Amino acid sequence: DMKVTQMPRYLIKRMGENVLLECGQDMSHETMYWYRQDPGLGLQLIYISYDVDSNSEGDIPKGYRVSRKKREHFSLILDSAKTNQTSVYFCASTGTPQNTLYFGAGTRLSVL
Amino acid sequence: QQQVRQSSQSLTVWEGETAILNCSYENSAFDYFPWYQQFPGEGPALLIAIRSVSDKKEDGRFTIFFNKREKNLSLHIKDSQPGDSATYFCAATANSGTYQRFGTGTKLQVVP
DSSP codes of every residue in A60-74: --TT-EEEEEETTEE
Please count the structural domains in chain B.
1
For position A99, what pLDDT does the model report? 78
- Taking contacts as CB-CB distances below 8 angstroms, the residues of chain A near B36 are 101, 103
B97 — pLDDT class (breaks 50, 70, 90): low
**For B31, nearest residue in chain A (alpha carbons):** A98
Q: Which pLDDT tens digit goes with each residue over B12-32?
A: 999 999 999 999 999 999 999
Residue type, B98: T
Domain that holds residue B9: 4-111
- Taking contacts as CB-CB distances below 8 angstroms, the residues of chain A near B45 are 103
> Smallest Cα–Cα separation from A75: which of A63, A60, A61, A65?
A65
Domains by residue range for chain A, with CATH: 4-111 (2.60.40.10)
Q: Please give the residue that has the higher pLDDT: either A1 or B71.
A: B71
Q: Kindly tell me if the per-residue pLDDT of A58 is higher than 90.
A: yes
Q: Give backbone dihedrals phi and psi of B83, rounded to 5 degrees, phi first.
A: -70, -10
For position A97, what pLDDT does the model report? 62
* 3-state DSSP assignment of residue B83: helix
- Taking contacts as CB-CB distances below 8 angstroms, the residues of chain B near A24 are none
What CATH number did the domain enclosing B49 receive?
2.60.40.10
Helix (H) / strand (E) element for A95: namely none
Q: Which pLDDT tens digit goes with each residue over A23-40?
A: 999 998 999 999 999 988
Q: Which pLDDT tens digit goes with each residue over A81-109?
A: 999 999 999 999 987 766 789 999 999 99
Mutate to test the interface with A, among B100, B101, B104, B106 (most CBs of A within 10 A): B100
What is the phi-psi region of residue B78: left when phi exceeds 0, alpha when psi lies from -120 to 50, beta otherwise? beta
- Taking contacts as CB-CB distances below 8 angstroms, the residues of chain B near A45 are 99
Q: Do B100 and A101 touch (CB under 8 A)?
A: yes
Beta carbons of B10 and B109 less than 8 angstroms apart: yes
B60 — pLDDT class (breaks 50, 70, 90): very high
For residues B86-91, average pLDDT: 97
For position A63, what pLDDT does the model report? 96
Q: Provide, rounded to the nearest whole percent, the portion of chain A with pLDDT above 90.
A: 86
Beta carbons of A93 and A31 less than 8 angstroms apart: yes
**For B33, nearest residue in chain A (alpha carbons):** A98
Q: How far apart are CA B21 and CA B107, in angstroms?
A: 10
